[in-house]
């Protein structure tokens, strides 16, 4: 890359630099889209697992309590910070609690869940 910057005045070097930048941007975009798609599929699977657990548990409140307890005992972060866990976990605990509350009493408005996990 350094030799391209040194001789940027030549046309063939400008072309190579443009190609390098274009390919780098395309690779980054591909991995961004792949990561977002993977997270979306993982969220579908997580919500389906919660739905399955609610169907066999005494109540979804037990599941919600367990999810919060697991998050609280998670040692991945240096310290327990509930707002981060509530909003930025995978999937966010806020959305999992919202779905569980909907399954318990049907009072929380939510979008219909997607059925089936491709894996």
pTM passes above 0.75: no
Mean pLDDT to the nearest integer, 54-73:
73
Residues 97 and 46: beta-carbon distance below 8 Å: no
What tens digit of pLDDT does each residue of 34-46 get?
988 887 888 788 8
Q: Residue 101 has which token pair?
A: 């509350």
- pLDDT at residue 31, rounded to an integer: 94
- Please state the domain extents for the chain: 11-105
Of the pLDDT bands very low, low, confident and very high (cuts 50, 70, 90), residue 111 is very low
What tens digit of pLDDT does each residue of 10-24 get?
555 667 778 888 999
Give, to the nearest 10 degrees, the angle between helix 93-105 and helix 11-56: 30
Alpha helices in 1-119 (DSSP H): 2-6, 11-56, 60-72, 82-88, 93-105
Residue that has been written with the tokens 């929380």 in this structure = 108
**CA dist., res. 27 & res. 7, Å (int):** 25
Q: Quick check: 106 pLDDT over 50?
A: yes
**CA dist., res. 63 & res. 9, Å (int):** 65
């Amino acid at each position: 890359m350094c030799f391209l910057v040194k001789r940027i005045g030549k046309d063939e070097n400008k072309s190579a630099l443009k190609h390098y930048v274009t390919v780098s941007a395309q690779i980054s975009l591909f991995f961004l889209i792949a990561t977002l798609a993977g997270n979306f599929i993982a969220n579908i699977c997580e919500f389906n697992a919660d739905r399955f657990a609610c169907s066999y548990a005494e109540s979804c409140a037990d599941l919600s309590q367990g999810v919060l307890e697991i998050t609280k005992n998670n040692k991945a972060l240096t310290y327990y910070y509930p707002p981060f866990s509530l909003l930025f976990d995978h999937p966010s605990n806020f959305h999992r609690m919202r779905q569980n509350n909907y399954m318990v009493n049907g009072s929380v408005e939510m979008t219909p869940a997607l059925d089936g996990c491709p894996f």
